[in-house]
Amino acid sequence: MKFKADFTNVSEGGFLPEGEYVCKVTKAELKQGNAAKYINWELTVGVGDQKGSKTYYITSLSVKALFKLREFMIACGLDVPKAVVDIDTDKILGRVVGIKVVPGTYVDKEGNTKNKTEISDVYEVVKTDKGWVKASQANVDLDASAESAAPPWATPDEDITEIEI
């Protein structure tokens, strides 16, 4: 078998290099882990040298780890009350989120320690005239439209800021 493959923009080792990225949430899969179910979020880099690269962020659904899901939803620009809420992951798809990738390690099935990169932080981003920036660093009134009675994932949102991928 013969074919052509374009390796021009392929990163080394299949991992995103250390750094900060603006990503679109492109997929959510519910999976069963050893201790609890979890959501495996696929994030696709939307700008810069790694545009189009994918990475994954896991949020456990165990009671002790739900804070991570809440932080992720807030980073996606959602208002998440401290209450019982119905969550539709399809309403989170297409949202834009900032991530920080750092070096890490893992132990494979044979017990060998291997290098990897991992997401150490997720945060809300907004697009300004200077490009994408952390929401905390932008001079934008993020609470101006947060006065609706229903949480944003409960109703269709036509104004989601998206990046082209």
Cα-flanking dihedrals φ and ψ of residue 90, to 5°? -60, -25
Sign of CA dihedral 112, 121, 25, 60: positive
- Which pLDDT tens digit goes with each residue over 57-84? 999 999 999 999 999 999 999 999 999 9
95 domain residue, yes or no:
yes
pLDDT of 150 reads 37
Q: How far apart are CA 67 and CA 59, in angstroms?
A: 9
- Which pLDDT tens digit goes with each residue over 100-123? 999 999 899 999 999 888 999 999
Q: What is the CATH number of the domain that holds 135?
A: 2.40.50
120 domain residue, yes or no:
yes
Residue 30 belongs to what domain range? 12-154
Sign of CA dihedral 131, 94, 72, 86: positive
**Which residues are within 8 A (CB) of 70 and not within 5 positions of it... i.e. 6 or more apart?**
80
100 domain residue, yes or no:
yes
pTM of the model: 0.76
5 domain residue, yes or no:
no
Number of domains in the chain: 1
